[in-house]
């Protein structure tokens, strides 16, 4: 039972991992496992200690928020860098890009139309030559 360590020291209380030390009231109590954070009526966050005596819940929440935010920002930067690297690698290696593919299709369409026009002009010229007997 954690209550037996009340009015002793934080270190003695926290030897048992199920215990929570409240520094302001010097009470040792069972950690309220149904809640993530101990309620304010049980112990204020800046006075509550769990696991180690040198870190209170308020500092722990701030530190975890900063670390979590930093990790999310780093993850976002890494994703952006990877996407940019893949895009530039595709361009360097000559890999198809959507714009490149569209331009290639347009070039091919123009080439086919030009070939058709050339064949049509050749047939007209041949017809004119036959008509006037220059062939």
The pLDDT tens digits for 98-107 are 777 888 999 9
Q: Is residue 90 part of a domain?
A: no
Q: Is residue 84 part of a domain?
A: no
Question: How much is the pTM?
Answer: 0.53
Q: Which two tokens stand for residue 1?
A: 């039972």
- C-alpha 33, offset from chain centre: 31
Q: Are 27 and 4 in contact (CB under 8 A)?
A: no
Q: Is residue 86 part of a domain?
A: no
Cα separation, 90 vs 81, in Å, equals 14
Q: Which domain holds residue 23?
A: 3-56
- Provide the number of structural domains found in the chain: 2
The pLDDT tens digits for 39-96 are 888 889 899 998 889 988 888 889 999 999 999 999 999 999 888 877 766 665 555 6
pLDDT of 20 strictly over 70: yes
| Tokens 């030009």 -> residue | 114
pLDDT at 9 (0 to 100):
92
Question: Residue 30's beta-bridge partner residues?
Answer: 19
Q: Is residue 31 part of a domain?
A: yes
The residue ranking higher by pLDDT, 28 or 1, is: 28
Q: Are 28 and 3 in contact (CB under 8 A)?
A: yes
Q: Is residue 79 part of a domain?
A: no
| Tokens 């993530």 -> residue | 36
Q: Is residue 37 part of a domain?
A: yes
């Amino acid at each position: 039972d954690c209550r037996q360590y009340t009015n002793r020291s934080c270190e003695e209380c926290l030897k048992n991992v199920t215990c929570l030390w409240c520094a302001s009231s010097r009470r040792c109590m069972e950690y309220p496992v149904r809640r993530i954070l101990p309620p304010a009526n049980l112990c204020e966050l800046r006075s509550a200690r769990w696991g180690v005596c040198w870190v209170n819940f308020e500092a722990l929440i701030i530190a975890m928020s900063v670390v979590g935010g930093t990790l999310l920002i780093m993850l976002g930067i890494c994703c952006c860098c990877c996407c940019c690297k893949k895009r530039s690698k595709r361009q360097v290696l000559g890999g198809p890009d959507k714009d490149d593919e569209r331009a290639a299709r347009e070039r091919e369409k123009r080439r086919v139309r030009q070939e058709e026009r050339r064949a049509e002009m050749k047939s007209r010229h041949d017809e004119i030559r036959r008509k006037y007997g220059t062939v």
